[in-house]
Amino acid sequence: MSVDGSGVLMEPGVAKSMPTTGGAGKPTQGQAGRRDTSVSNYVNELMQQVKAKNPAEPEFHQAVHEVAESLALVFEKHPEYRRKKVLERIIEPERVLLFRVPWMDDKGEVHVNRGFRIEMNSAIGPYKGGLRFHPTVNLGILKFLAFEQVFKNSLTTLPMGGGKGGSDFDPKGKSDNEVMRFCQAFMAELFRHIGPNTDVPAGDIGVGGREIGFLFGQYKKLRNEFTGVLTGKGLAWGGSLIRPEATGYGCTYFAANMLATRNQTLDGKTCLVSGSGNVAQYAVEKIAQLGGTIVTMSDSSGHIYDPEGIDAEKLRFVEELKNVRRGRIQEYTQKYRSATYTPVDPKLDHNPLWAHKADCAFPCATQNEINGADADHLLKNKVFVVSEGANMPSTPEAITKFVEAGILFGPGKAANAGGVAVSGLEMSQNSLRYNWTREEVDQRLLGIMKSIHDACVAASNRYGTTGNYVNGANIAGFLKVADAMLDQGIV
């Protein structure tokens, strides 16, 4: 373990180097032409086993396959990882918790939801990952998110394992009291399985500051202790400055680092952003601060296109609309006549948001929101930077098109790691009983995102796929976890 000039710990197994070229370059002969047949067979057999053991979990299969394809490059040079079945052990969660969550609404009616916590891997630190409250939550989605979290947390250089959890509860349309009762019921079971040195959840879709407050209050009451068991807390009771902004800021910093490999910046670039939640809002804020022009935002009902750009004043309107009134993005066009609104059309094979002309794209909404047709539109319109703010927002077909086109493509496990990075910094501040200033946290985040970028570039160079950030992120994230697992024995 070494330390770079900014004081950020660097990942073992990958020497720090500055990129010699930018972009998600095409797969080289080292990846495609000289691949060991036995390694290819191993990957195919592994995927067959994963699908057989985890049926009806397509998102999980997709996440595992992407990583396994990248790691074939590692297994050719280091067969010991195959012999010790390290990837098979990472794929299998250390623990899966499934529990009922009964709660009562304001009318006195009883509801029953499912609660989950996937404790995926703790080789390099306590489990760390968000809680998602959304009707689409199921075991497969949370396993995919937990699996991705293992590599993402490894890339941050901080000592955090990977986990994920949540419920099929939908906070939309619920009163504050109903959300509080659900959160208390959820924590009444979860508290037995988490702790500051065991498992530290955070927020995700449907779990913001309100929900974290209710969850923390119930944990504190049940355990009779004040500890940093959750991150994303309020500033008055253990939270960190920059934590709400961290994922959106980090995604933008990662894009800036990719652009720097081509001696460019975000200044003057036209940017497409999807989503209108926490990640999208702060990505828009930071892009604007760095000189970019944001022309789109969206929610589940459709997207707005504002050719004049979404500036600070317009962003404040969106924040009030989504965070306070919890309204729909269509209302933006009623306030700002320069904008147009396009509703979601389920019959289309693409998302019109990605068909606008731009330089950069920041998918910040949800998984698989950019498909092959969307990728074609982006490339046709000369978009050459894609930095993923959401988790796995691009389908495998889209990723292949981006990589083969040689654009700057930052995969989510690297580009959106800023959120969990500042969660890790919040944990550090809780342990120290000390708060850093906004500037200190932001500088640490900036340094971590640069370290993640440089680790991805170094790993892709080392394994013969220069410029391929997908391979770089998967390999760099794997090596730290894998080496720790080998050190700790068969556990």
Residues known to be catalytic: 164
Bridge partners of residue 273, in order along the sequence: 362
Task: Enumerate residues 6+ apart whose C-beta is below 8 A from 259.
Answer: 22, 265, 266, 385, 408
**Is the Cβ–Cβ distance between 465 and 27 less than 8 Å?**
yes
**Is the Cβ–Cβ distance between 90 and 116 less than 8 Å?**
no
- Residue in 199, 181, 179 with CA at minimum distance from that of residue 190: 199
Using alpha carbons only, give the angle 184, 189, 190 rounded to the nearest 5 degrees. Answer: 90
Q: Which residue intervals of 228-371 are DSSP H helices?
A: 246-260, 278-289, 312-319, 331-335
How many Å apart are CA 262 and CA 233, to the nearest integer?
38
Q: How many residues does the chain have?
A: 491
- Residue in 165, 359, 199, 134 with CA at minimum distance from that of residue 269: 359
Task: Enumerate residues 6+ apart whose C-beta is below 8 A from 88.
Answer: 46, 49
Tokens coding 78: 């280091």
Bridge partners of residue 95, in order along the sequence: 119
